[in-house]
Amino acid sequence: MAKDDLREYSAKRTFTATPEPGPELAKDRAGPLLFVVQQHAATRLHYDFRLECDGVLMSWAVPKGPSLDRAEKRLAVRTENHPYGYAAFEGIIPKGQYGAGEVIVWDCGVYSPDEDAKGKKGHWYHDREEAERLIREGMAKGKLSITLRGEKLKGSFALVKTKEDKAWLMIKHQDRFVTDEDVTEKNRSVITGIAVPELKVVSPQRIPASRLVPTGPIVAMPKIEPMLAETGEKVFNKADWMWEPKLDGYRVLAFIEESGVRLRSRRGIDYAEKFPKLAAELAKQAVNGMVLDGEVVAFDASGRPSFGAMQDADANTPVVFCAFDLLYFEGVDLRKSTYRDRRRYLAQCLLPSPLVQLVHAADDGVALNTAAMASGFEGVMGKRKDSTYEAGKRSSSWIKVKPTQTADFVIGGYTKGKGSRSGFGSLLLGYWKGRKFHFASHVGSGFDEKTLKKVRALLDPLARKTRPFEEEPELNGEAVWVEPKLVAEVNFQNWTDDGALRAPVFLRLRDDVDAKKVTRVETRTATAPEAAAGGDPTIAAVLAQLEAKKTALSLVVGKQVVKLTNLDRVYWPADPSVDQPALTKRDLIRYFAQVSPYILTHLADRPLTMIRMPDGIKGQRFFQKHWEQERPEFVDTITVYSGSKDESQEYLVCNNLPTLLWLAQSGTLEFHIWHSRSKPGPDSVTKDTNFAESEASMDASILNYPDYVVFDLDPYIYSGKEGKGEEPELNTVAFEKGKEVAFWLRELLQGMSLNPIVKTSGKTGLHVFVPIRRTIDFDAARHVSELVGRHLMRGHPKDITLEWSIPKRTGKIFMDYNMNVRGKTLNVAYSPRGAPGAPVSMPLTWEELATAHPLDFRMTNAAERLAETGDRWQDALTIKQSLERALKGGK
Nearest-angstrom CA–CA distance, 829 and 853:
16
In terms of Cβ atoms closer than 10 Å to its own Cβ (0-12, 13-18, 19+), residue 80 is: middle
What one-letter code names the amino acid at 753? S
Q: Are 565 and 665 in contact (CB under 8 A)?
A: yes
Among 832, 821, 835, which Cα is nearest to 863's? Answer: 832
Q: Are 372 and 245 in contact (CB under 8 A)?
A: yes
Nearest-angstrom CA–CA distance, 749 and 886:
10
Nearest-angstrom CA–CA distance, 301 and 425:
32
Q: Are 77 and 61 in contact (CB under 8 A)?
A: yes
Among 83, 82, 94, 90, which Cα is nearest to 106's? Answer: 90
Nearest-angstrom CA–CA distance, 719 and 759:
22
Question: Which parts of 802-865 are beta strand (E)?
Answer: 813-815, 826-827, 843-844
Q: Are 778 and 819 in contact (CB under 8 A)?
A: no
Reported for 317-320, long-range contacts at CB under 8 A and 24+ positions apart, including other chains, are 317/275, 318/277, 318/355, 319/249, 319/275, 319/278, 319/355, 320/278, 320/296, 320/354, 320/355, 320/356, 320/357
Residues, the chain, total?
Answer: 891
Nearest-angstrom CA–CA distance, 588 and 660:
11
Among 239, 240, 237, 268, which Cα is nearest to 252's? Answer: 268
What one-letter code names the amino acid at 536? D
DSSP string, 727-778: PPPP-HHHHHHHHHHHHHHHHHHHTTT---EEEE-SSS-EEEEEEB-BTS-H
Mind telling me the catalytic residues? 246
Nearest-angstrom CA–CA distance, 298 and 521:
27
Q: Are 93 and 20 in contact (CB under 8 A)?
A: yes
Exposure b/e, 86-105, CB count within 10 A at least 16 = b? bbbbbbbbeeebebebbbbb
Report the 3 state secondary structure along 34-87: EEEEEEEECCCEEEEEEEEECCEEEEEEECCCCCCCCCCEEEEEEEEEEEHHHH
Exposure b/e, 223-249, CB count within 10 A at least 16 = b? ebebbbbbbbebbbbbeebbbbbbbbb
CA atoms within 13 A on the CB side of 270: 9
**CB within 8 Å of 282: residues ≥ 6 apart:** 254, 256, 261, 263, 292, 321, 356
Number of neighbouring beta carbons within 10 Å of residue 358: 16
Nearest 10 degrees: CA dihedral of 762, 767, 769, 774?
-80
DSSP at 818: G
Three-state SS at 90: coil
Q: Are 271 and 301 in contact (CB under 8 A)?
A: no
Nearest-angstrom CA–CA distance, 622 and 624:
6
**Helix axis angle, 657-665 to 585-603, nearest 10°:** 140
Q: Are 243 and 381 in contact (CB under 8 A)?
A: yes
Nearest-angstrom CA–CA distance, 520 and 848:
38
Nearest 10 degrees: CA dihedral of 373, 378, 379, 380?
-110
Residue 470 CA: distances (Å) to CA of 328, 430, 434, 460? 41, 10, 12, 22
